[in-house]
Structure 1
Amino acid sequence: MILKYIPLDEGMIIMDEAILKAKKIIEGYPETKFSAEEYQRFYQCVYYICTYHTSNEKMMQLYEKFRNSLKEIILSTVLPSLINKQGENLLREFVVIWSNYKLMARWLCRFFEYLDRFFIPQHIELESLDGTSFSCFRELVFKKLYCRFIEAALTLINQEREGLQIDSVLLKNVLDIFVEISDHRGVNYYQDFEHILLTEISGYYSRVASEWLLHDSSAEYVQKVSWCLNREKQSAYQYLHPETAVKILQAVRYHLLDQIAIKLMEKRQAEKSGLTTDYQEILSKCAGMSLQEGSSSSSPEEWLSKLMASSAHIC
């Protein structure tokens, strides 16, 4: 490649053309493409500036051009498209805008690639271009709206628990972004969400356990436990990581069975002393929690032990 002199000011104007066109992607035109000629022109512009103006100052100005352009696009276009939305609409726009932002950033990273190859490695305090694009979005968008993203995601999960249909694909896409955008040197946003989710689930099932013990028979209680475990299992594996799904099932089982085992056993014993109901027949109908023959004559301790063992396989 023949070395060509491009004044810095002229080069910045050329790169403004690249940035302006790339911005169309974030404005809702993801089909925006750059021709081979355009790509070559923008890449060579950065190359010529870096190789002719060998001072770090000139190359740092190009690096700042890249970073500041991302910040300007985020503040002028990305945030306004999200800031006034709530709930599912917020999550849906978030997924779209993140996809478009990454596409736009990839084009800009290709145009400024020479910095990644020859300038940034000499300055360990600088992030790569790709890392910079993530950091800008994380700091200016994600951290600002993170609590609202969590609230909207939890609302969808609670709606599904109440029997409503939700967009599980949307929810999975949002949680995948939580993983993708996490700063491995700092907060893991998915783990943070997981902790909040488990806390909320624990509170919910602790409350319903008390209500069911008060109002339902032991057989009805067991049937509800079986139904809840199967429902949570089916839901969790649709949009949560497998490790999180296991933790959820363990939490449900703990609050519905482990924590109230003695009270449930006492309730079963009291009912058995005054009722002629065939508990073996009732319990055998509980999905995934059938007991072995002879449980109708077993002691309360044996009955509960079998119940706990049969529920464990669901988790």
Structure 2
Amino acid sequence: MGHKEIDMDEGWDIIQKWITKLKRISEGLPEPPFNVDDYVMLYSSVYSTCIQGPHHEYSAQLYNNEKHDEHLLRELVKRFANHKVMVKWLALCFNYLERYYIRQRALPTISEIGLTCFRDLVFDALKHKAKDVVIALIDREREGEEIDRALLKNVLDIFVEIGQGKMDYFEEHILRDTGNYYSCKASNWILSDSCPDYMIKAEECLEKERDRVSHYMHSSSAQKLVEKVEHELLVVNAIQLFEKEQAECRALLKEDRVDDLSRMCRLYHRIPNGLEQVASAFKQHVIVECTLLQLQQQILIRELIELHNQYMEYVSNGFINHELFHKALKEAFENFYNETVGGTLSSELMATFSDNIK
């Protein structure tokens, strides 16, 4: 007779109950003894979870169970909290030593010794695994999965406290992982997406990353993480983006797609020299539009003024009133005024046309 098939979640829930019982016994909490029948039940649960046939083999998942990984983080948070309570009470009990003996001899305080002991005996043994689990959870959230943000914050707070206000060890690894993650994303998007679509994805990623760091990253690392995302999405692929941008920016201007232009400007204004290419494309577009207003060696002044007002609106709103775009607009019109039409400067034709208006 074959055994009943169970899925991974069901099997792990059963196993977890027996593990909890063992933990309570080991901690001296009220719990019936772990007898032979209990052992047989736990062994059978593990066996049933592992042996599910060729299409449902859960041995590897059980060995590398993600829930176990999260359990490690919860256990670390719990143990550190308990340790701090114990150290607090010890510091109160040995307050006399703190105030006289320790202070007079400039010795480490009870609290400092307690933190050092936890770091050396517990944290150093677990920090590598804990770091890997935290980064894996962050990557899962980036892919749209819901995670326990409060748990991550509590774990990262331990990294900060152990690091005396810094999290250099974790920061080094999360920045490297973030760079690799978004480098892969950017490489795919740059090949498949138009410039506006790429910008939409980049802006969405940056917004989510800012939200993410505000919930569980320490302030000392938060800005570095956002800058890493900006670097991978906007700086590394800048040349390829600008090659697309030169053509597509003019198309966006021609189609009055202010939202896309504004997004492009918002993203690149934080990047050194990031707006120069956009401003150059804007300038060339304005020059072309001005040239189109020439008609039988006369310039339609009213339309030229309307054109200037239209692009001034772009500069003020779509291009966040940035000085580069004011300069580009000014130079575009200056370039047009100095062009020769039929042997006569455009500026002279404008003056003649104005004189003839009655």
Query: If the length of structure 1 is used for normalisation, what is the TM-score?
Result: 0.59
**AA matched with 1:181:** I
**AA matched with 1:148:** K
The equivalent residue for 1:142 is: 123
Counterpart-to-counterpart distance in 2, 1:163 and 1:287: 25
Residue 100 (str. 1) matches residue 82 (str. 2): yes
Describe the SS at the equivalent of 2:171.
Answer: helix
Counterpart-to-counterpart distance in 2, 1:241 and 1:177: 11
**AA matched with 1:227:** E
1:111-260 equivalence runs, <5 A: 111-124=93-106, 126-182=107-163, 188=166, 190-260=167-237
Residue 87 (str. 1) matches residue 69 (str. 2): yes
Describe the SS at the equivalent of 2:146.
Answer: coil
8 Å CA contact 2:249–2:281 kept in 1: the answer is no
Describe the SS at the equivalent of 2:122.
Answer: helix
The number of residues matched between the two structures is: 219
The equivalent residue for 1:58 is: none
**AA matched with 2:198:** Y
Question: RCO (CA 8 Å, sep 6+): is it higher in 1 or 2?
Answer: 1
8 Å CA contact 2:252–2:258 kept in 1: the answer is no
Are residues 28 and 239 of structure 1, via their aligned partners in 2, closer, same or farther at CA, if it must alter by over 3 Å? farther
Are residues 253 and 268 of structure 1, via their aligned partners in 2, closer, same or farther at CA, if it must alter by over 3 Å? same
Are residues 28 and 98 of structure 1, via their aligned partners in 2, closer, same or farther at CA, if it must alter by over 3 Å? farther
8 Å CA contact 1:219–1:282 kept in 2: the answer is no
Deviation at residue 208 of structure 1 after TM alignment: 1.6
CA displacement 1:116-146 (0-9 Å, x = unmatched): 233334545x422221111111100001111
**AA matched with 1:220:** D
8 Å CA contact 1:283–1:290 kept in 2: the answer is no
**AA matched with 2:93:** F
Counterpart-to-counterpart distance in 2, 1:194 and 1:290: 24
**AA matched with 2:130:** F
Q: RMSD across aligned C-alpha pairs, in angstroms?
A: 3.8
Counterpart-to-counterpart distance in 2, 1:183 and 1:219: 44
Deviation at residue 302 of structure 1 after TM alignment: 6.4
Deviation at residue 191 of structure 1 after TM alignment: 2.1
**AA matched with 2:189:** W
Describe the SS at the equivalent of 2:257.
Answer: helix
The equivalent residue for 1:33 is: none
CA displacement 1:241-279 (0-9 Å, x = unmatched): 234222222111121112222211212345679999947
8 Å CA contact 1:86–1:152 kept in 2: the answer is no
8 Å CA contact 1:223–1:286 kept in 2: the answer is yes
**AA matched with 2:141:** E
Percentage of matched positions with identical amino acids: 38
**AA matched with 2:95:** E
**AA matched with 1:248:** L
8 Å CA contact 1:116–1:129 kept in 2: the answer is yes
Describe the SS at the equivalent of 1:163.
Answer: coil
Deviation at residue 285 of structure 1 after TM alignment: 8.9
* Structure 2: segments with no counterpart, 5+ residues: 1-23, 30-66, 269-277, 285-314, 323-358
Describe the SS at the equivalent of 1:164.
Answer: coil
**AA matched with 1:140:** L
* Structure 1: segments with no counterpart, 5+ residues: 1-23, 30-84, 292-296
Counterpart-to-counterpart distance in 1, 2:253 and 2:28: 68
Deviation at residue 170 of structure 1 after TM alignment: 1.2
8 Å CA contact 2:149–2:215 kept in 1: the answer is yes
Counterpart-to-counterpart distance in 1, 2:152 and 2:28: 22
Deviation at residue 86 of structure 1 after TM alignment: 4.0
**AA matched with 1:217:** S
